[in-house]
Structure 1
Amino acid sequence: MKLRPQRNRRRKPTPTSRSRGVYKGTTTNTSRQQGRVVRRSSSRVESTIVQKMLSYGVFIGLTAGILVWLVMFSRVNHIEYEGPLDDGLVQEISNEYFEQTSRWRFAFDSASFERYLRQRAPFFTNVTTHIGIFSDTMTIRADNLPTRLLWQSNGVQYEVNQLGYISQSKDQLDELPIVFDAARLEYSVGQKLLPERVVAFISELTAVVASQSDVSYFEGINYVAGQSTESLTLQTSQNGPKFLVSTSIDPQAQIDSILDLYSKLSQEGRAAPKEYVDTRVAGRVFWK
């Protein structure tokens, strides 16, 4: 039996103790490795520089943006109003408020401003304010209580809302009752003119009189107010008497008393009142 000759087998190179990955029997290119290390180091330096430049750029941009914002939008410089009221009145009240406090937006207290607005003009309702982040304009939104009657004094006509305050609006006021002030005094917007119950009385009385459109002595009635709000004088365009009514007694009951008086006098064949009919005492009627 022939034995095969043994071939010289190459052993796998073993790593040296000095450097991993370098085997006995292999050659290394030291200069190539050093070049790679240099390129890696330079790329890291360049990356660090770029990152720092970006950081500085972001910081400078933010700082410049904050400075621009502080210059342009840190103060409330303009007022805009959205609602049914006269814009001039809102501007006037707002300027009065900012004369007493700072226009610096961080010091602005919206709740305090809204309280001042309602105190200065009690006819305001649903008051809200808004200042945009990139705006120096404060927008005011507010509604107005409805105007219930017109109060005419010394040639000037004032609107009176349901709470009895003098208001100012853009509403159509053609069919409202007009009360003439015999005292001919001057008033200002926001002033309390009448108790709320008196305003309600005049509105109800107007509706009651309007329902008696077929009664001749109720044609063309005007309301005249004296020094007291407890009574009201109704004057007609006819040459008839004055009707003196109480604002504390139900208007329907007083009109019914006047109608009953005229009916009774007509049935008895007596002359109608010439000067006045007074219903200011509950359950009683006086005439002349």
Structure 2
Amino acid sequence: MSTAAKERKRAADREAQRHNRARTKAYITYLEKTLQDLSGPSGQGQDTLGHQLAQQQEKINHLQETLRKIARLAQDAANPLSASFSTASDPAGPPTAPPQPTVEEPLPTRACNILPAATGFFGLDLICSDRERNYLAVLGSAVTLVQCCSPALSENPISSSGPTRDDDFCIRAVVDGWKVATARTEADVVWSLLQAIDEGLFYRTDPVTRIALLRIMRSMLLQRMGVAQEASSLPEYMFATPVQTSVPHQPFLDFFPWPQFRDTWIVKGMEYADILLRGVREPVPRSGQLEA
């Protein structure tokens, strides 16, 4: 490692330590204020804390209900036979026509394996543009949704294919286009997510970089989801840095192949990363061109 690289790494480490100390100090101040409020006269602090807890629980319940509605809508849109399938599987229901012989797998698996529209992933718009929104937060939601589909994905024979078939599919998608690749081989839920990301963000860079990014992301997603496949070791620069393991951040940041990028974005915050992403108009820089 060169002297300049060591200096950049030390500067990043110092910045991360400073950030962690500031967060710890702010948290201690918050705890002291909370303790002071709880020790207030007439139990007013406890009443206030109870009210805040009730508000937070109400928000959590609302978000959970919204996620359940999104999942139901995605399943209904993905499988138009869901209603008849559910009725046929209910022994207490009225007599119905025999189930279609082509329905061989449970509904969640079919819903996860249906290819969403281009640059869209189960209703999530993954086109990187100048709109005022937190783009990385949307990507993080898409990654979380994919990991929730892992039980169904493990039954998909495409997902359990080896690195050779994944390489072939990825190269065809980048060179010939996603339409050609998915017409030849059905895309599973991970490839559907990567298609939306590639057509919404990665399309600005060169084909070699696109192929490398897509293959790294697929390997990491399959490993995180526990899908059975041949063991594939990740390169050293994809290992989690101390900043990644100590600072909460959006999950999508873990998939960028440059440790300096990951640490800088995590330390500076999501607003910085989102503004930088929306401003990308040139091919992705090589690792040697990066600065801390």
TM-score of the superposition, structure 1-length normalised? Answer: 0.21
Larger Rg computed on CA atoms: 1
TM-score of the superposition, structure 2-length normalised? Answer: 0.21
Greater strand percent: which structure? 1
Greater helix percent: which structure? 2
